[in-house]
Amino acid sequence: MRSPYRFFGCLGLIGLIGIYASAQDLGSSNKLFGGSKKPAATTAKKKPAAKPKATTAKAKKPTAAKTVARKAPAKTKTAKPETVAAKTKSPAKLITTAAKKIPPARSKPVDTRFSEFKNVVITPQRRPADSATKTPRTIGPPAPSAETRRETPPIAPETIEKFEDLIEEGNLARDNRNYIAAESAYLRARPLSPKDSRALYGLGNLYSDQQRWEQSEEAYRRALQIDPNSAIAHVALSYVLTQPLVAPDLSSRYEEAERVARRAIQLAPSNALAFDQLGVALELRGQIGPETESAYRRAILLDTTFAPAYAHLGRLLRRRGQAKEAEQAYRDAIRRSNDAATFVLVAEVLQSEQRYAESEKLLEDALDDDPRNPSALFLLGRALTAQRKFSDSEAVIRKSLEVSPGSVIGNSLLGDLYARQGKFEIAESALLLAVRYATKYERRLLSQQFEAIGDGYLKNNKRLEAERAYRQAIDLDADRETLPGKLSKARFSGE
């Protein structure tokens, strides 16, 4: 799907890794989903309903950990409306959002994250005033019927307390890049309050941080089953659907991404993230005309500080042959990047244009702000590899594996790095580690990498090693039509 990345160097692996490591653009992407540190204030001030507005606050240097769900005083009986406090630290495309209402016994304003757009604050939208009372109603899930209330037994206060503690534990662990602990906390929280979407949303966020797209998609879908009127969860799902998986149905995924983004806009018409994501989905569907440009410009109009929308607009204008206007949009994007989240998002778009040297500086800035940002590490490793700075690239990729142990993308990038240097045996070892954790679509990507390694072996007349690599490729994706012929050539060409 990402033609700009499908160039192969000596073996073609950098193209495959380019496709995999990138996200919602046409040659790379925006990684949302990172962490966020604990803000100084516990809640955000509610803006007047008449003028909803998206704003971006400057990211703070990592000091105290930010949490996805914050506790309100125990006496509060009304859950706060959905809020997005975004501020991210990772190349993975941060959006922060509130989840559901919390039981009256222990109400908490929720500040869950949809990764990279950490600093974006979205004011909740309002439905039209009720004709009788003229009182505006906040958008949210429909109230449960009396029958449902009778069928759903009340949750014991101690269970609510435990659920809230686990959500906070998961949020803090994610903010600190302790993904194993965060996943464990969210998984333990889920059964305690099945009608609360926050545990699932937290899982979706941490999987997105690590580019575990299939698992992230499943988590967001299940969260939306519980909370179908969450605008930011729709944006998150749309984002994941635009990731470059090695899937046979990409066109249908992009169509769904567009539909989901449009639904997010219906739910939150002043959400800049939703309009930006709509533009990305349209662009991936090959639509580079006025509607796509309008979506990006609408995002900019809603939030003039939102750097990723400028970068997306720049890429679109370049594709339409408007080079001068594209360069200005890119400059605007870079100038407005002021935290790890936006550094990463803009760097991804630059990489989609194969502007690796420019992206390198932005990614270094991101890591200065958040040294353990997994997406920034992935993308920087990729940029350094593309520029043949192999020693520096290896150090960065290995650090990413410290942050995200067992990462498929990290080991895949490492395999590509070694293969480009002709170190095929070490490349195989890295890819075999990736196989242990790979999902269905990831196995297809790894199959392509093993095939490329087999080609390298065969070129060097190492037929037994080539046969081994081709067999591994077939085990990962038996439907690849090129593999049987290559395997036969490796087995019999020297006889």
* pLDDT tens per residue, range 62-104: 433 333 333 444 444 444 434 333 333 333 333 333 333 334 4
Q: How many CB atoms are closer than 10 A to CB 74?
A: 11
The one-character DSSP state at 210 is T
- List, for residues 220-269, the tens digit of each pLDDT value: 999 999 999 999 999 999 999 998 787 788 899 999 999 999 999 999 99
User: Rounded mean pLDDT of the chain?
Assistant: 77
The dihedrals phi and psi of 110, each to the nearest 5 degrees, come to: -100, 140
C-alpha R_g of the chain: 23
- Answer for the pair 260, 24: CB distance below 8 angstroms, yes or no: no
- Answer for the pair 282, 254: CB distance below 8 angstroms, yes or no: no
- Answer for the pair 20, 3: CB distance below 8 angstroms, yes or no: no
* Interval 429-442 mean pLDDT: 92
Exposed, middle or buried by CB within 10 Å (0-12, 13-18, 19+), for 10? middle
The one-character DSSP state at 104 is G
Listing DSSP states for 380-424 in one string gives HHHHHHHTT-HHHHHHHHHHHHHHSTT-HHHHHHHHHHHHHTT-H
Say what angle helices 374-386 and 340-352 make with each other, to 10 degrees. Answer: 30
How many C-alpha atoms does 370 have within 13 Å on its Cβ side?
40
pLDDT at 152: 61
What is residue 118's three-state secondary structure?
Answer: strand
> Of 43, 79, 35, whose CA–CA distance to 60 is shortest?
35
Write down the H helix ranges in 242-306.
250-267, 272-284, 290-302
pLDDT at 207: 94
pLDDT at 341: 86
- List, for residues 111-133, the tens digit of each pLDDT value: 333 444 333 333 333 333 333 33
* Interval 346-359 mean pLDDT: 93
User: Residue 433 pLDDT more than 80?
Assistant: yes
- Answer for the pair 351, 379: CB distance below 8 angstroms, yes or no: yes
Q: How confident is residue 41, by pLDDT bands cut at 50, 70 and 90? A: very low
> At 433, which helix (H) or strand (E)?
helix 424-435
The one-character DSSP state at 86 is E
User: Residue 331 pLDDT more than 50?
Assistant: yes
Q: Which two tokens stand for residue 236?
A: 């998150």
* Interval 198-202 mean pLDDT: 96
d(CA 95, CA 92): 10
β-pairing, 117-122 vs 96-97, is: unpaired
- List, for residues 128-159, the tens digit of each pLDDT value: 333 333 333 333 344 455 554 456 678 888 99
pLDDT at 493: 66
Single-letter amino acid code for the residue at 490: A
pLDDT at 395: 97
- List, for residues 372-384, the tens digit of each pLDDT value: 999 999 999 999 9
CA 279 to chain centre: 16
Its pTM stands at 0.70
Cβ-Cβ contacts under 8 Å for 245 (sequence gap 6 or more): 213, 214, 253, 441
d(CA 35, CA 469): 38
Q: Which two tokens stand for residue 217?
A: 């998609």
More confident of the two residues 346 and 109: 346
Q: How confident is residue 333, by pLDDT bands cut at 50, 70 and 90? A: very high
- Answer for the pair 292, 269: CB distance below 8 angstroms, yes or no: no
More confident of the two residues 10 and 437: 437
pLDDT at 153: 72
More confident of the two residues 182 and 47: 182
